[in-house]
Structure 1
């Protein structure tokens, strides 16, 4: 499949997505100051070819939460506003900036932390790190999260091998309509 076409689709979608959701982004940012005092969450993640990039999201956990994978974090660290942001997936909207910058795609394997060594090794073995990470993908819409590194890397590989324009739009539509739950918090 033509990578230029997907990059163009990503850029257009991210640009207009940010433009259309600007009022929501502004409101959540302001409310986030009252919720945590620091509404924007930025964290180093593993990008294409293991190149680090800074992922941008709305903060959903208290500021002092340890930097671990979501499935290892405690639900007690999620704020009330954060629970709403996660449920509605609004916390993911700032990642459109990462897409605009070319660090992520709308569709691809979810970017992990550098301390998730087991997942990185499994993804390296399957060639998953050869593509841009994404906001959503096959594993996410099938409720497979980072708590099962080998299974996740298998589904990521399957997505990459069967990727098409139709799949690109299908994963986006499934995510927008609430299919999948993203990374769970214990």
Structure 2
């Protein structure tokens, strides 16, 4: 009942309220990004959604426009050469993820769920199939995110995503959200580059 009906409505209402409440921050970041680097304000990238459908995730652009496309940042040999000055701050604080509130409102994502894989992360997608983790909406944050983030090997990440599927509920989602704030503040598990 929660996963099928309640969760989607809660996601919609909370994301909409957050978007309204944080509109001043959105505007500030949009102006700052535009004034400090060439290119669009938003970065769109093909990701895998519920039932392996594809959608475009929204983020504030943190990298130069000549950055290799469809490569996870932690897979780049030297990501520092591509990250913009404001981008460094946005990534460190996870503020680059804020536009995903729009993805949540539209229904591509949830507040909590497995982080959406890149369309070409075939190993992760296949591994998640073993646990049914491709059959729920991906999340802004998730169980794997708060238990290792970028440092986790694919098999462990997928297994944690599977654990989330088994435990999903209002209290568990709340636990994930609260722990996310702590992880972001401490920058736990954040890895830039191969």
| Contact 1:11–1:100 (CA under 8 A) maintained in structure 2 | yes
Matched, 1:71 2:74: yes
Q: Retained in 2: the 8 A contact 1:139–1:145?
A: no
Do structure 1's residue 167 and structure 2's residue 168 form an aligned pair?
no
Query: Which segment is superposed worse, 92-101 or 119-128?
Result: 119-128
Q: For 1:58-94, what per-residue CA distance to the aligned partner results, in whole angstroms no more than 9, with x for missing partners? A: 0111111112012112232111211111111111110
The equivalent residue for 1:151 is: 156
The answer to which of 144-153 and 117-126 deviates more is 144-153
Indicate the larger mover: 174-183 or 2-11. 174-183
Partner of 2:61: 59
Unaligned runs of 5+ in 2: none
Deviation at 1:33, TM superposition (A): 0.9
Q: What CA distance in whole angstroms lies between the structure 2 residues aligned with 1:182 and 1:7?
A: 28
**Over 6 Å off, 4+ runs:** none
Alpha-carbon distance between aligned partners in 1 of 2:107 and 2:35, rounded to the nearest angstrom: 31
> What is the root-mean-square deviation in Å for CA atoms of aligned residues?
1.6
Unaligned runs of 5+ in 1: none
> In the alignment, is residue 30 of structure 1 matched against residue 35 of structure 2?
no
Note closer, same or farther for the CA distance 1:181–1:63 as it changes in structure 2 (3 Å cut): farther
Aligned to 1:91: 96
Shifted more, 82-91 versus 93-102: the winner is 82-91
Deviation at 1:178, TM superposition (A): 3.4
